[in-house]
Amino acid sequence: MATKKAAAGKTAPKKSKKKLFKAGQFIVYPAHGVGKVTGVEQEVIAGFDIETYVVHFEQDKMTLRVPTTKAATSGMRALSNELILKDAFTTLKGRARIKRTMWSRRAQEYEAKINSGDLILVAEVVRDLHRTDAQPEQSYSERQLYERATDRMVREVAAIKKTDRGAALEDVLETLTKARTRQAAKAAKEAEVAAENDEGGETAAA
């Protein structure tokens, strides 16, 4: 009987939940971009003992503490994989898609994409707001959004490729420049063919 009581009184050891992230890992937090998990600590918040990820954002010189139980719902994620990275660069190569709506509305949409934490959506903002020397200059607010989106994308590209920010920026800008050059050449060729067809039609009519 005593044995049974002793057995009943034993408490099974609690199994620790597997952590989504570990110290030293680079992550992406929607509102701040790429950060690095520097550790997992216990914090006392409002009288409760809470386990948190300590995340440092070098670009903002700030540290954020995210409860481990809230990490997934907060949008905190691991770096994008190679497939998503490839899709992001494919997005950069596409034609800019500018909606015919008021700038204030478009600015809100760009802001939402930048803060989504989605690399491909960020790449869309970079693509749509990029300007070549032959295009009209950006307004101040356009420039601000473009630089923020570019910085977000470049930092994640650098972290994924394990390279520095300068090399990643060069990669992004080179991709944009080559794509715009090809698009301009194609548009010029199409215009030339259209002009030749118009001339041919006029000659036949004469």
Domain spans of the chain, in order of start:
26-78, 82-189
pLDDT recorded at residue 169: 96
DSSP string spanning 119-148?
Answer: HHHHHHHHHHH---TTSPPPPHHHHHHHHH
Could you identify the residue written with the tokens 């002009």?
Answer: 195
Using a pLDDT cut of 90, give the percent of the chain over it: 64
Question: From CA 195, how far away is CA 184, in angstroms rounded?
Answer: 16
- Average pLDDT (88-107) is 92
Q: Model confidence at 114, in pLDDT bands (50, 70, 90)?
A: very high
Question: What is the strand order of the sheet 62-67 is part of?
Answer: 62-67, 48-57, 33-45, 26-29, 77-78
As a CATH number, domain 82-189 is 1.20.58.1290
- The model's pTM is 0.80
**Is pLDDT of 9 > 60?**
no
pLDDT recorded at residue 194: 72
**Is pLDDT of 56 > 70?**
yes
Q: 28: which strand partners? A: 34, 77
Question: From CA 187, how far away is CA 189, in angstroms rounded?
Answer: 5
| Cα maximum dimension of the chain | 115
- Do the first three CATH levels of 26-78 and 82-189 match, i.e. the same topology? no
Third-level CATH fold of 26-78: Thrombin, subunit H (2.40.10)
Nearest to 149 by CA among 182, 118, 177: 118
pLDDT recorded at residue 203: 55
pLDDT recorded at residue 186: 75
